[in-house]
Structure 1
């Protein structure tokens, strides 16, 4: 077991924050999400990411607070989203233990742990295949799924109680962390990130595309950083359009720049998806009364962008460079090493689905590419149905959500995250990022009543939170600042 010094500093920050407010632990968990290369410890070759460590501490604190509340825990309403998610978590946990043993040795898979051992299947990429069998990755991936699921339930309860301002502030700090890590990498100061690059992952911080160095920010590779930046762009763009806060517009612009400089195909595609989703939700932000100053700003931005593109089109050198980048990012991508490798991963994920008669080989048994192939190969049809039911229960349009603007912001961000996972996910973990936005959407879609927001719910168990007399915060409305 290896414990890294940076995790000690993080724990110190956590202690300072939770002394002020236990719910700050959730804020810190979400703020750590852009640091996907930051491992707090390495346990038998498995990296415990800092975000997951703080998420576990958050779950522990919130559970203890619920159990210690006056009168003891009370049974609260169990939402359809919670039921679907619990079913998904249960099947993932059981399948991770049982299915790799039932189907052991019956077919070959790309293992989760990339190594030079195994059978070489192509001269075009280095990934090798091995016979299916139980590994430590089964327990690790099942654990990640359980943490993500429990985090959703704790976060949705907390956001319901603390209100919109608390949810906004949690994402605000995460967006700043992602932007800061990206800027350090972009300007060549990524050596300052060395102390948090502790996860046992292959670090792709020197990769280039068409001669340009790709920005990876707080992650190990450009594709994850690009998709994450596009997700934050979606949230902050919607926040800026609905709330007109300059800080939201600044982070939205910075996140868009980071997604572009990641030079990632999946990042670019996710960025386009974020723009399209924002347009599809125009009735939320365009239906409001637009001030003259805001309309002038939109006109200036649109005119500036159009003029810049027109000037660029006059330069043959710039157009040739743009064409070269498009070829590398999009048109030549399927024939690249990465494209061929990920295509093979996806094909073997679906092959595992058929080989296991639709049950899947269990989380952690194989590496696939794209959420459909990952779910099909890992958790099979039961996992697809239960996870799909959860997404519909949380993100499906609702007639009159309690906080419509916050719900649409979270919905656009969650759908953008989901689009990125559909393109490039390699494990069936829903990720804490998706669960965070899903929790905000779940809290925002519930009808607002006078007292329901003061109840803490954790996996269907609710209890009044412990707070000093007179310290309970008022229920914040959508217009409050975070």
Structure 2
């Protein structure tokens, strides 16, 4: 086991927080999400597995919450989304232990290990197909999927106790840090960022497109940074349309600019899909009759925006630059070496699905591309249906009760993450950020649908908007 220099500092801060209040460990885990390449520890005995700091802190906090529940704090509530996610995690573990051995050697896959040697089937990319076999990636992927279940179970329970406003503040810290890391990357502060880029991932911090440097913030590549930034953009912009808080607008715009700076098709697609959802969700409020001052201000704002765009188009090379970037990011992407490689990964996932009779080759058994191909190839139809059911139960249905704005924000964040994964996802793990969004949405629904039993002599609850977020 290898500890990195900042790991002890992270664990020290975490210890101080949980001694004050155990749930505050989740605040730190969420705040560390933008540090997507910050490995707290490495496990050489498990194929060099790097445990990301946010995942380690979430696992330690979730484990202590379970221990505290056994000692009398009260067991976490097992609702339908929790049970379905538990089924998904159990099947993923079963696939990684049993199915990969059952189908071992029967067909070829692209593995998650980049160091695998073999005969290239295409000169344009380095990935080589090898016979399916168990490996350290089965262990690592199973760990992260089980962690997602543990985090959802315990974090949602903490939200029910403390209110969604607490989770919203933690996401605001994460969104701020994501912007800060992007600014540091723009400023070329690599000596500082090297301290939090410790994971054994391929670092792509020198890429450019159309003469513009691609920003990666605290992540290893533009696609990962763009996808995460798009999710933060979606959450805070949806929250702004519901609350009109200046903080949400600043964080939404800031993370939107981070998405653009990544120059990633994943980020742009995720931001576009989430933007459409936000627009159609906010449309009834936009069309509702407004006060005269609001109408005049909106008209003036739109006119200034359109005028600015016209001036940029007329007196700058922006159209040529934008056209060139659009062609390279979207139109030429499929014919690039990266696009060809990802198509081969996707086909490998579908092949694994067919070769295993729809059961899947096992979590961590293969490298695929695109959410559907990854899920079908890794956890098969049973796992895919279980994860789809979990997402539907969490954010699939509309909500118009208390904290509806925060619910819509969490749903927009999930849509952004799903859109990004549909384009470039490579893992069947939902990811900690998606789990946070789903936990917030479920906590809002469950607080309203499953009220706590009244205590003897307690006053009756008042009607109105005294929702979950007011208890923080």
Q: TM-score, normalised by structure 1?
A: 0.90
Q: Deviations over 1:229-267 (max 9, x none)?
A: 111011111121211211111111110110001010111
Q: Deviations over 1:156-186 (max 9, x none)?
A: 1111221121121111111111111111112
Partner SS for 1:335:
coil
Aligned in 2, Cα 1:480/1:244: closer, same or farther, shift over 3 Å? farther
Check the 8 A contact 1:161/1:453 in 2, yes or no.
no
**Which sits farther off after the overlay, 331-340 or 291-300?**
291-300
Partner SS for 2:448:
coil
Matched, 1:57 2:57: no
1:23 shift after superposition: 1.1
> C-alpha separation between the residues in 1 aligned to 2:450 and 2:375?
40
Unpaired runs of at least 5, structure 1: 456-474
> C-alpha separation between the residues in 2 aligned to 1:439 and 1:376?
25
Check the 8 A contact 2:226/2:266 in 1, yes or no.
yes
> C-alpha separation between the residues in 1 aligned to 2:40 and 2:185?
21
Check the 8 A contact 1:284/1:408 in 2, yes or no.
no
Aligned to 2:232: 232
Aligned to 1:8: 8
1:292 shift after superposition: 6.7
> C-alpha separation between the residues in 2 aligned to 1:100 and 1:449?
41
Aligned in 2, Cα 1:277/1:191: closer, same or farther, shift over 3 Å? farther
Matches within 5 A, 1:7-406: 7-44=7-44, 45-69=48-72, 73=74, 78-115=78-115, 117-282=117-282, 286=286, 298-299=298-299, 301-315=301-315, 317-398=317-398, 400-406=400-406
1:77 shift after superposition: 5.2
> C-alpha separation between the residues in 2 aligned to 1:136 and 1:423?
26
Unpaired runs of at least 5, structure 2: 456-464
1:449 shift after superposition: 7.8
Check the 8 A contact 1:163/1:453 in 2, yes or no.
no
1:338 shift after superposition: 1.2
1:316 shift after superposition: 6.7
Partner SS for 2:42:
strand
Aligned in 2, Cα 1:342/1:360: closer, same or farther, shift over 3 Å? same
1:366 shift after superposition: 0.3
**Which sits farther off after the overlay, 287-296 or 40-49?**
287-296
Aligned in 2, Cα 1:78/1:130: closer, same or farther, shift over 3 Å? same
1:305 shift after superposition: 3.1
Q: By percentage of residues, which structure has more helix?
A: 2
1:454 shift after superposition: 11
Check the 8 A contact 1:37/1:220 in 2, yes or no.
yes
**Which sits farther off after the overlay, 420-429 or 302-311?**
302-311
Partner SS for 2:130:
strand
1:318 shift after superposition: 2.5
Check the 8 A contact 2:402/2:468 in 1, yes or no.
no
1:312 shift after superposition: 2.3
Check the 8 A contact 2:100/2:362 in 1, yes or no.
yes
> C-alpha separation between the residues in 2 aligned to 1:134 and 1:159?
38
> C-alpha separation between the residues in 2 aligned to 1:215 and 1:290?
40
Aligned to 1:427: 427
Aligned in 2, Cα 1:384/1:401: closer, same or farther, shift over 3 Å? farther
Check the 8 A contact 1:222/1:263 in 2, yes or no.
yes
Q: Deviations over 1:143-163 (max 9, x none)?
A: 110001111111111112211
1:296 shift after superposition: 6.0
How many matched pairs? Answer: 460
Check the 8 A contact 1:370/1:423 in 2, yes or no.
yes
> C-alpha separation between the residues in 2 aligned to 1:35 and 1:256?
18
Check the 8 A contact 1:371/1:423 in 2, yes or no.
yes
Q: Deviations over 1:178-207 (max 9, x none)?
A: 111111112222432110100000000001
1:403 shift after superposition: 2.6
Check the 8 A contact 1:38/1:199 in 2, yes or no.
yes
1:451 shift after superposition: 6.2
> C-alpha separation between the residues in 2 aligned to 1:50 and 1:139?
18
1:280 shift after superposition: 2.1
1:476 shift after superposition: 7.0
**Which sits farther off after the overlay, 321-330 or 360-369?**
321-330
Check the 8 A contact 2:62/2:155 in 1, yes or no.
no
